[in-house]
Every structure is written in C-alpha cells, then in structure tokens.
Amino acid sequence: MSSSEQTLNSHGRTRLSFANEADIDEFVSMLGKYESGEITPDQWRIFRLLRGTYGQRQMDDAQMLRVKMPQGIVTSGQWHAMAEVGDKYSRRFGHITTRQNIQFHFVKLHDAEPAMRLLADAGITTREACGNSVRNITACPYAGVAHDEIFDVTPYSEALTRFLLRHKHSSSLPRKFKIAFEGCPDDHTVIAINDLAFHARMEDGVRGFRILAGGGTAIMCKTAGVLHEFLPTSEIFRVAESLLMVFKEHGDYIHKQRNRMKFMIKKLTWDGFMSEYERALAYCRGEGAVALLEIEPAKEAAPTWARSEAPSPNLISARVSAAPPRGVGVTPILLPVLNPADDAFLRWQETNVRPQRQKGFVQVVVTVPLGDLTSEQMRILGELSEAYADGSSRVTVDQDVVFRWVPIDQVKELYRRLSAASLGLAEAGTVADVTSCPGAESCKLAVTQSRGLGRLLEDHLRARPDLIAAADGAHIKISGCPNGCGQHHIATIGFQGSVRKLNGRAVPQYFVMVGGGTTAAGASFGRTVAKIPARRIPDALERLIALYQQQKHAGESAVAFFQRLESKKATEALDDLTRFTEEDAVPLDFIDLAETTEFKPEVMEGECAV
C-alpha cells in the first residue's frame, strides 16, 4: 500500500473512543490562565467554545455544554454517562439537537471539567462541538438497516469524523462547518443545507457519493450545489480537506454575519469557487499527500449475544417518577403509563415502528417531545437498548431516538416499558412531532421562547387527532430567532420568533412560513406569509391545515401543497390573526409562552461567530 493510502476496518459495534484526556487537561489549564488574567476574555471565549462550552444568556455562571454524538450513535454506557452529567451538573435532563448532539444547560463553568471527564470515560468528546470548527458530522439514523438504502454510510461518516477531529484546519475556520451523510434515496439528514454533504451512489458496482457543498439557512437560505455527481468513497478525505483549505483561504474572518461558506461561494461565484476547489483537490491528491480511504466495512448483522433482561414496567415507572427534572425553564413532563390501551399501542405501532431490511427485525422510533430526556429516562433507554436492540440507539435530526434490531415479537414489550418511562407517545414523523431550538430560555440570540410554543402546539395537536390526520405529511419546526437552529426555514410550516410593539409594550410574535422542505434534489425554503402574536399561533395552524384540506389536489401531500401554494392565499387565510390592537389585547398577550412576567426581549451578543 502506498503512503497516500489508509486502510480502515469497520469495528462493527465496538466503537473506539472519540475522547482525549489531554483536551480536558488543556481546558483546565486555559481556565486557570483566564482566571489569573494571563489570557483575555475573548481568547478564553474562543478556546472554550472549541471545547463545547457555550455561554448562556443568564449571567450568573450558566453554561451550555454540547456533547458530540457522531452519526447520532449512542451506546448504553454513553446514555448512563450523560445521565450522570445531567444529575450532577445540569437540570437532571438533556436536550437532543438538530445536529445529533446532546446539550446540557445551566452547567457551572467549574463543573465543565468533571462533566467532560465523565463523558470521556464513555468515549464521548465535546471537542469542536461549538465555535468556528467542523461540527458534529451527522448521518442517516436508519443507516445499516434501511430497506431501501444504497449502502451503509456509517463507516464512512465515522472515518471522516476521526480524520477531521483535531485536524489542523478543523478549529481555525472563518465560521462553523457542517457535514452530513445520507445513504437512502430519501433525505433523512437534510443534506442540502449543509456546507458539505455526501449522498450514497453506486456506479458499475463501485461505491461512491454525489457530493454537495455550500448549503445553509439563516439570513441567506441556500441549497447546496453539486461538487461531484459521483466520486468514489476513497476520495472523501481529500474532498473535505480541499474544501477546508479553500474556506480558510477565502472565507470572511471579519463580518460575523457573512462568514459561512455559502457567502464565500457567492463572492467568488460558483465557477470561481469550483476553480479554487479543483486547485486544492489537485494539491491534496498530489504533493499534499492526503490519504485515500480504503475501508472494509463489515455488513451489519443481527446481535448474537444473549440480550440482557429488561427492567419491569413497574420499576421503570417508579424510577422515572422518583427523579424528575429540576430548575428553571420548560422541563420534561413525566406521565408514566403502566397499562397502555390496545388502541394506543396500535397507533404507536403505525407511526413509530418502521420496517428493517433484515428479516424478523424492525426499527422503533422513540418520540421525544422537544428533544428533552431526563437523566433517568436516559438510563432506561440504555437498558432497553441492551434488552431489545443491539446495545445502542441513534438520535435523529428530528430530536427523536431510534432503536434498531428490535425483534418483531418483542415490540409490544418494548412499548410497555417505553410507556412506563413516559416515552410511549405515538406520532413520530407527523405534524405533532414538533422540532424546536432552545430559544430564549437559554440562548443569547433568541427573541422568543420557542420551546414554549413547541409545547403549546404539541399539546394542542395531541388533543386533536383529527388535525394530525388532516395535516398529512406536514412538519413543524420552530426557532427563536432568524438563525434557524430549529430548522424552521425547511419546515412545511415554520415559525420564527420576533417581536412587535403595541403602544410601547412588547408582544411576542412569530413569522409564519410555509413551503419549506428537503429532498435528494435539494432544499426549498419557507416563504413568510404572516406575522402573528404568539398565543394566536394554534389558530393560525388550524387555518393552514384547513386551507390544505380545502384546496389540495387528489392525493397531494401537505408538503407538496404548501410548496406550490401562492403566498397570498395563505396570507388571506391568516389576515385577521395578524391584526392586533389595544382593544384585541388581553394581559397574556404581553407574556411570552412558558413565562410568567411581561415580555421584555433582550437579544445579546451571541457566541456562534467569534
């Protein structure tokens, strides 16, 4: 084998650690230098962000600790480690993000080190989880078992994760850099809004990828362009390093709002960008000597070991109920169900159980409202993954959890235990499975309490099964500001937090956007059709669902309908909800959802771009 080649063998279910104790030792050292005045606050902020420690809007020593879960994969031991972090250092719960990370909020700065060490013992890192770095590399949560996938992208996305983690370019970029992998014909990882994306292809029996670059949302929504219609899998290291080289050389280090790669491509033009990329790729293939990836992935096989015994529903219910979340903000509501009705099971089976290509097994999606899991629920998920799955699970960009390799004849017993853990909700992938960013509960940039709206809409929809059925295929996503961490730009119906004034008083409101979505062909972005006070949003949602029912074509999904709908028709349907006068107002209109005091929005300097 030449010096420019690298062979990696799949480790199967044995996953090597992503952690490095030296990273944590350096964190402790730099914290000491910051506190002694040897480095400036700005130098400290840049450093701690690259170690996954993000300052919250609360000024009394509150940090968000972001944990990278490459490809969304979580082992049983890792669930237990994160449960310990939640118990000891956070609010006894964690939050799944749209990047397949898990975040803990209200962590004290001096608690970050012991939390990191707990995570490192389980093979998890926070390195390059925030800051101007290569962020967590996402992948299809159904990879390896999807009945229609081209091939399993997991080994390739893991290999690229390891190649770029602590890479010389990975933590000194003009801005964050997002990468995604998809192996199915359908897009489960929103590849079109990533800086770099790999979509599996086969040509003449050769594995490869259709490679995309330059996608993104926020203040300039852009679907990714095609770098290569097909390139063998062996080239992925070279492609990634080439793009990072171009971004480092030509990216904008000065203007914080215009320094994502999509802005660089706009400045260079696509042809100019491609010229720079091809020059960098030629260098990486030649004198740069970037390794080819030669990988021998083992085909995923059914678990052959004896599965552990699952805890009883009674014990699960008692454990979860005895360890509720604590602290401020929107916290998980625990409603354990010990004897779920047969019709509830059948509905859950319809929405949350998916076929698996391996005979005798299915995938089970665990619906996680707002992406929040208590520490005890994390432990239960770890234990249930050992009893009913393959000892691991995967978190999704929709903020849910997937169990794979569940024997068909064990599905009902798994459901009984999930219900006992208050995790037995149906409606995964429906309009009731709402996605939301953390919002103004903790984020410095957010305007509104997006999680409050998320809970309001989920409760409203679950009380109205007719609305869920009528909203065929629609997805709701919510963000507390234009940056779009809740991915509202690509939602069938998206909501973006904002504010209006009424006689000098602030009223929380949302931009209502329709028509977003992603497919293998690219992304479409929602169009703003109204600006509506927060407490009227459930009415707005009902109007939009009714509009779909009244004007859809035969067999037309909600996604397709809202993409073709003229904006003015949606605006007309919502018009009276947008009008807001002193005579219309009630006291609650001036209080944000999930808050108790009058709405006084404060958008602070964020830490996303430093």
Confidence of residue 12 (pLDDT cuts 50, 70, 90): very low
Q: What is the pLDDT of residues 84-131, one digit of tens each?
A: 999 999 999 999 999 999 999 999 999 999 999 999 999 999 999 999
Mean pLDDT estimate for the chain: 95
282 and 141 assigned to the same domain = yes
Is the residue at 483 inside a domain?
yes
pLDDT for res 606: 75
What is the mean predicted confidence (pLDDT) over 494-498?
98
Is the residue at 77 inside a domain?
yes
Which residues on adjacent β-strands are paired with residue 225?
213
- The number of domains in the chain is 4
328 and 250 assigned to the same domain = no
Residue 1 has pLDDT above 90, yes or no: no
Looking up tokens 């432990």, which residue turns up? Answer: 379
556 and 469 assigned to the same domain = yes
- State which amino acid sits at residue 324: P
pLDDT for res 567: 98
Residue 358 has pLDDT above 50, yes or no: yes
What is the mean predicted confidence (pLDDT) over 276-291?
97
Is the residue at 457 inside a domain?
yes
Is the residue at 15 inside a domain?
no
414 and 474 assigned to the same domain = no
HSE value, Cβ hemisphere, 13 Å, CA-based, for 304: 4
The radius of gyration of the chain's CA atoms, rounded to the nearest angstrom, is 23
3 state DSSP class of 538: helix
CATH classification at residue 70 = 3.90.480.10
Which residues on adjacent β-strands are paired with residue 209?
200, 231
3 state DSSP class of 82: helix
- For the beta carbon of residue 249, count every other beta carbon within 10 angstroms: 11
Which of 393, 420, 447 finishes a domain?
420
Which stretches does DSSP call E strand in 138-262?
138-139, 179-182, 196-203, 206-213, 225-232
Residue 2 has pLDDT above 50, yes or no: no
292 and 164 assigned to the same domain = yes
Residue 325 has pLDDT above 80, yes or no: yes
458 and 581 assigned to the same domain = yes
pLDDT for res 467: 98
Angle at 550 between CA 548 and CA 552, to 5 degrees: 55
Q: Write the CB contacts of 261 (distance below 8 Å, at least 6 apart in sequence).
A: 175, 177, 195, 213, 214, 216, 243, 247, 251
Bigger pLDDT: 83 vs 11: 83
Q: Write the CB contacts of 50 (distance below 8 Å, at least 6 apart in sequence).
A: 127, 128, 130, 131, 132, 133, 171
376 and 258 assigned to the same domain = no
Angle at 202 between CA 200 and CA 203, to 5 degrees: 140
- For the beta carbon of residue 317, count every other beta carbon within 10 angstroms: 20
What is the mean predicted confidence (pLDDT) over 553-567?
97
Is the residue at 429 inside a domain?
no
Which of 121, 147, 172 finishes a domain?
121
Residue 359 has pLDDT above 80, yes or no: yes
Its domain, for residue 169, covers: 5-9+135-296
238 and 105 assigned to the same domain = no
479 and 582 assigned to the same domain = yes
Q: What is the pLDDT of residues 383-404, one digit of tens each?
A: 999 999 999 999 999 999 999 9
What is the mean predicted confidence (pLDDT) over 475-486?
97
456 and 537 assigned to the same domain = yes
pLDDT for res 609: 61
Is the residue at 126 inside a domain?
no
Q: What is the pLDDT of residues 143-156, one digit of tens each?
A: 999 999 999 999 99
- For the beta carbon of residue 402, count every other beta carbon within 10 angstroms: 23
Q: Provide the angle, in degrees to the nearest 10, between the axes of the packed helices 567-578 and 537-551.
A: 150
How far is residue 62 CA from its own chain's centroid?
Answer: 22
What six digits make up the tokens of 17?
């650690």
CATH classification at residue 287 = 3.30.413.10
What is the mean predicted confidence (pLDDT) over 193-204?
98
pLDDT for res 4: 32
506 and 585 assigned to the same domain = yes
Q: Percent of the chain beyond pLDDT 90?
A: 93
Looking up tokens 């929709």, which residue turns up? Answer: 398
Residue 526 has pLDDT above 80, yes or no: yes
What is the mean predicted confidence (pLDDT) over 286-290?
97
Output the CA torsion sign for 535, 536, 539, 540.
Answer: negative
pLDDT for res 13: 64
- For the beta carbon of residue 33, count every other beta carbon within 10 angstroms: 15
Which of 90, 121, 152 finishes a domain?
121
What six digits make up the tokens of 467?
């609305």
Confidence of residue 8 (pLDDT cuts 50, 70, 90): very low
Confidence of residue 610 (pLDDT cuts 50, 70, 90): low
3 state DSSP class of 509: strand
SS3 assignment for 19-81: CCHHHHHHHHHHHHHHHCCCCCHHHHHHHHHCCCEEECCCCCCCEEEEEECHHHEEEHHHHHH
The answer to whether the beta carbons of residues 500 and 533 sit under 8 Å apart is yes
What six digits make up the tokens of 307?
């599965």
pLDDT for res 297: 79
Q: What is the pLDDT of residues 30-80, one digit of tens each?
A: 999 999 999 999 999 999 999 999 999 998 899 999 999 999 999 999 999
Output the CA torsion sign for 73, 76, 80, 83.
Answer: positive
The answer to whether the beta carbons of residues 16 and 2 sit under 8 Å apart is no
Is the residue at 596 inside a domain?
no
Residue 7 has pLDDT above 70, yes or no: no
102 and 41 assigned to the same domain = yes
Rounded CA separation 407/361 (Å): 4
Q: What is the pLDDT of residues 405-441, one digit of tens each?
A: 999 999 999 999 999 999 999 999 999 999 999 999 9
What six digits make up the tokens of 28?
């402790």
C-alpha distances (whole Å) from 296 to each of 202, 210, 322 are 16, 20, 46
How would you class 116 by CB atoms within 10 Å of its CB: exposed for 0-12, middle for 13-18, buried for 19 or more?
Answer: buried
Residue 11 has pLDDT above 70, yes or no: no
3 state DSSP class of 407: strand
CATH classification at residue 377 = 3.90.480.20
Is the residue at 26 inside a domain?
yes
Which residues on adjacent β-strands are paired with residue 67?
102
Q: Write the CB contacts of 113 (distance below 8 Å, at least 6 apart in sequence).
A: 24, 27, 28, 31
Rounded CA separation 77/385 (Å): 10
